[in-house]
Amino acid sequence: MKSVAVVGASGAVGAVMIRLLEERQFPLSTIKFLASGRSAGKTVQFRGESYPIEPLTPEAFADVDIVLSSTPASVSREFSPIAAQAGAVVVDNSSAFRMDPHVPLVVPEVNPHDVAKHHGIIANPNCSTIQMVVALKPLHDAFRVRRVVVSTYQSVSGAGEKGLYELQTQTAAQVAGEPLPSPSKFAHPIAFNCIPQIDDFLPNGYTKEEMKMVNETRKIMGDETIDVCPTCIRVPVLYSHSESILVETEEPITPAAARDVWSRAPGLIVLDDPDLKLYPLPAAAAHRDEVFVGRIRQDLKRPNGLLFWCVSDNLRKGAATNAIQIAEELLKLNPVGA
């Protein structure tokens, strides 16, 4: 049995990690919940018992085997190496180590073999990248993906509890005919609005979020030649990210062929029946672990082009579920009782 620590236990992703450890009956001998000093002293319910949230300190990692961490990158840069030096394997949900060449960046449906390459830290990719590569991997294996043009429609829960609060309070004010509270988490009011900016802008005109999709996709897929052209948009949706994707492949591709390879792909569900108005919806994907694809259609001019719509719960598969799946891959390398 393994000893587990959840870091960032009081946050939105941390709360889902805790719930998933219960749902998936993750085998563990002991568990502890860690967070910043302002959350220390609060309690967490887990498997019918109440646990205190302990302060995040270097000493907290003694005798811990697996750390599931969801903190800001600055906190992870400080504490994840400490946990690894103490003998734990850290599954880190921040951006701190994703592009470190010595740290595996893993989506278990795509590159589970990379888990074995860890040196104490395994990076969990960005939420928008995770769902996209789950859909791209079967196409890449069958038809060789050369170019991806993606526009994301990302829910406010991707910005944590503060993002959810901002949408809810602004919506309530708008409906009541009251002045909207000033935005603090987003650059502009998010209620009844779309904001074509997620994270800071870079000198090349792209945002950090968009460049994460470019660089992380290539690393996870193991192919630096894949061309990714992203635009990331925040939308007034509580849970689940949606993506409109145009993929261009080396080999000719048809909707029927794509449906066929997707039907056999792990972690992916095809919802694609225009007559029934059946296609993925963020509201329906919320609280699910799968990636959903639909609106599958041929590029009007190119036999090597395919368009589709991709939806997944960003707090689950886009963060917590993927992290737990990585921990489950770790158990396969070092089974319970070993």
Active site residues: 127, 241
- The answer to whether 158 and 241 have CB atoms below 8 angstroms apart is yes
Helix or strand or coil: residue 337? coil
Rounded Cα distance between 282 and 270, Å, is: 14
Contacts of 321 (CB under 8 A, 6+ apart): 16, 20, 289, 313
CA 94 to chain centre: 10
**The two three-digit tokens of residue 28, written as one number:** 């563990």
Alpha helices in 118-207, H assignment, sequence order: 127-143, 160-176
CA distances from 221 to 100, 126, 151, 189 (A): 15, 14, 19, 36
Helix or strand or coil: residue 282? helix
Question: How does strand 49-55 pair with strand 28-35?
Answer: parallel
Helix or strand or coil: residue 202? coil
User: Which residue, among 213, 233, 217, has the nearest Cα to 225 in the 3D structure?
Assistant: 217
User: Taking the CA atoms of the chain, what radius of gyration do you get in angstroms?
Assistant: 20
- The answer to whether 52 and 84 have CB atoms below 8 angstroms apart is no
**The two three-digit tokens of residue 132, written as one number:** 């996209």
**The two three-digit tokens of residue 61, written as one number:** 């990692």
User: Which residue, among 217, 222, 12, 22, has the nearest Cα to 209 in the 3D structure?
Assistant: 217
Total Cβ atoms within 10 A of residue 67: 28
